Amino acid sequence: MSSQTSAQTSRPYTSVWNDLNQVEFSQGFLQAGPYRTRYLHAGDQSKPVLLFLHGITGHAEAYVRNLAAHAEHFSVWAIDFVGHGYSTKPDHPLEIPHYVDQVTHVLDALGADMAHFSGESLGGWVTARYAADHPDRVDRIVLNTMGGTMANPNVMERLYTLSMEAAKDPSWERVKARLEWLMADPTMVTDDLIRTREAIFEQPDWLKACEMNMALQDPETRKRNMISDDDLAAIQAEAMVVWTTKDPSGPVDEGRRIASLIPNGYLEVIEEAGHWPQYEKPDVFNRIHLDHLLGRVSAAGHPSNESEEVPS
């Protein structure tokens, strides 16, 4: 028996419903301007708004292990980006301004003048752009293994290939391979998680949608959308940068560099996690995340980025 098979047989079976069955939540669709936006919501709507923004080809279920902890303090909305999940699927290449526009319409539809933002990968890219361009609508932010500051051809090609193969043939094995790219421990990719994403990839309009949301893996398109050092320096929000020791998109040093450029930024490193630390290490993620969003920890009270030790 392989070590992976052994780990799978020893780990208790989990499912999306296991993560949500004790959570008071709703699922639905919000008409946000021209974007029919699918969401998962938890928490009293009188509380401050927190937006969870997923990564490329992702969906709101990326945050099922975070809703309960955050709903105690926030009105939490995990949305499907335009061109993703079950939201509107445009017929044009999707670039960062399109996601930013959707987020603005979501805030307007919620009647929220401002919100806390937590974005993973693409979601972090959008969060950083939003914080730089719309500081009046942003409270505290979390940039979780964010994209948009690097253009590694090997990573981009791998991501493009895995995503398009799964879009063209949403078979169990191809969807599984795409999800395993996200994890430090591939046994975290359960049958339930595979089926959740497979159902999205089986939608008749998904192949076209995937081509559109893969636009940012094109070098020229990516170049004009990237987050510059000046953009990071323009972010005034209190910002926590989350990186992991096994992130497939880039090293911890990149997270450190990003945090050092944001005036009110600091770095937190989660060990033994990949591109989805909020899912792989939810207890650690929820603790440091809430400490930041609730103001228990800030850049001012955190060890400087220069002196902080990075776990080996």
Question: Could you report the per-residue pLDDT of 91-112, keeping only the tens digit for each?
Answer: 999 999 999 999 999 999 999 9
Q: Which helix (H) or strand (E) holds 139?
A: strand 138-144
For 20, residues 6+ apart whose C-beta sits below 8 A from its C-beta are: 64, 67
Percentage of residues of the chain with pLDDT beyond 90: 83
Question: Could you report the per-residue pLDDT of 52-67, keeping only the tens digit for each?
Answer: 999 999 999 999 999 9
Predicted pLDDT at 152: 82
- Of residues 255, 245, 257, 256, the one with CA closest to residue 312: 245
Percentage of residues of the chain with pLDDT beyond 70: 93
Gap between the Cα atoms of 145 and 122, Å rounded: 9
**Which is it for strands 138-144 and 265-270: parallel, antiparallel or unpaired?**
unpaired
Mean pLDDT for 8-25 is 80
Mean pLDDT for 121-139 is 98
Predicted pLDDT at 305: 42
Question: Could you report the per-residue pLDDT of 253-298, keeping only the tens digit for each?
Answer: 999 999 999 999 999 999 999 999 999 999 999 999 999 999 998 8
From the CB of residue 192, how many other CB atoms can be counted at a distance below 10 Å?
Answer: 15
Backbone conformation region of residue 258, classed left if phi is above 0, alpha if psi is from -120 to 50, else beta: alpha
Gap between the Cα atoms of 57 and 127, Å rounded: 17
Torsions phi, psi for 120 (to 5 deg): -105, 130
Question: Could you report the per-residue pLDDT of 203-223, keeping only the tens digit for each?
Answer: 999 999 999 999 999 999 999
